[in-house]
Each structure stands twice: as structure tokens, then as C-alpha cells.
């Protein structure tokens, strides 16, 4: 995730509590979705779909923060 922006992500993780909170939550949900898809965690399909939606929303919010950061660097 955000491989091309790793330097910005690292800076935000160290200096932006909101970004860090979103990143941590996204990582936790991503791991849960992965475990469910691999069959290691039992989860209802509806709940899995909701988790996926939440994960995408978090990624969108982090992308916005990254773009704002990039814009402010210029």
C-alpha cells in the first residue's frame, strides 16, 4: 500500500496522529480480511463485505492526507 509514497507515509506515521490511527486501523482490517479469505477466521459474508468497504474508505482517507501533504511540500 502506497509503495510509491513510502517516504511520505513514513513521515506521516511519525508526525500525524490521525494518519497513524487510520493506518493502524486499515492494517488491522486488512489482516482480518486476509485471514477470512484464507479461511483462517470464520466471518459472515456480510461482515466481510462491510470490512472491505471500511478498509477502502480508510485507504481513501489516507490517500487524501498523502495528497494534501504532497501539495503542501510544493
Residue 7 sits in which domain range?
3-73
**Residue 7 clears pLDDT 80, i.e. is over it:** yes
Number of structural domains the chain divides into:
1
What are the tens digits of pLDDT across the range 12-69? 999 999 999 999 999 999 999 999 999 888 889 899 999 999 999 999 999 999 999 9
**Residue 1 clears pLDDT 80, i.e. is over it:** no
Q: What is the DSSP string of the chain?
A: --GGGHHHHHHHHHH-HHHHHHHHHHHHHHHHHHHHHTTSS---HHHHHHHHHHHHHHHHHHHHHHHHHHHHH-
Q: What number of residues does the chain have? A: 74
Amino acid at each position: 500500500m502506497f509503495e510509491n509514497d513510502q517516504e511520505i507515509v513514513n513521515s506521516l506515521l511519525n508526525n500525524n496522529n490521525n494518519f497513524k490511527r487510520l493506518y493502524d486501523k486499515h492494517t488491522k482490517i486488512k489482516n482480518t480480511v486476509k485471514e477470512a479469505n484464507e479461511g483462517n477466521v470464520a466471518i459472515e459474508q456480510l461482515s466481510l463485505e462491510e470490512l472491505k468497504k471500511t478498509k477502502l474508505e480508510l485507504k481513501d482517507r489516507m490517500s487524501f492526507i498523502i495528497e494534501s501533504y504532497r501539495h503542501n511540500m510544493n
